[in-house]
Structure 1
Amino acid sequence: MSFEKVCKVEDIPEDGALGVEVGDTPVCLVRTEGEIHAVHDVCSHAEVNLSEGEVYDHTVECWLHGSCFDVRTGKPTGPPAVKPIPVYRVKIEGDDVLVSLTQES
């Protein structure tokens, strides 16, 4: 499994999100409750960037129609989305955030 450095921990706002690219894949990094998570940065309902939405608890909310996703599992927690989004592995090395596109199971 290969990890790619995508940013510094401090680049991700607390209770916020940051959109990055890993190769050609859009990734939404979410920092909430002291943890950093990585999910696919495209809403499964409306195909817009989740990194532009709101973050609370372990949830990212799509800014367009309000679909909510649990960033730990990728599962939708609020309509109108019904399909989950991919969740990616995150590793912290010092101040660096690394992401692997290998999906968590």
Structure 2
Amino acid sequence: MSDTNWIDALAADELPTDDVIGVEVNGRDIALYTVGDAVYATDNICTHGQARLCDGFLDGHEIECPLHQGKFDVRDGRPMCEPVTEGLRSYPVKVEGRRVFVRVD
């Protein structure tokens, strides 16, 4: 895996505080989450209801889908409650300088 897989997603000052934002990274719809000082990334589309997770509610490390209230752990994309049964793809994130990078393979 090379450094060329790190894609510049957005400026670090555009990250919301303890919230979620949707961005396009290399043609993919990605949700970026900030929880405290950590930043996480997953696919932005719920695996159950095809809703955009950036329109959902972030509570700690859990994002709630705005459509059917299924929840995912933003750290690794695993489903936390029904009706969600399939996890989200998660992506490594790094903040360098004033930019946020997501690694897509």
- Output the TM-score relative to the length of structure 2: 0.91
> Which residue does 1:7 correspond to in 2?
10
> Which residue does 2:56 correspond to in 1?
53
Partner amino acid for 1:20?
Answer: V
Misfit runs of 4+, over 6 Å? none
Structure 2 unaligned runs (5+)?
none
> What RMSD in Å do the two structures reach over aligned CA positions?
1.0
Structure 1 unaligned runs (5+)?
none
Q: Which is greater in Rg?
A: 2
Within 5 Å, give how 1:27-42 maps onto structure 2. 27-42=30-45
Contact kept? 1:33, 1:58, Cα under 8 Å? no
Deviation at 1:79, TM superposition (A): 1.4
Aligned length: 102
Partner amino acid for 1:38?
Answer: A
Deviation at 1:33, TM superposition (A): 2.1
Cα distance in 2 for residues equivalent to 1:27 and 1:45: 16
Q: What SS does structure 1 have at the residue aligned with 2:92?
A: strand
- Output the TM-score relative to the length of structure 1: 0.91
> Which residue does 2:70 correspond to in 1?
67
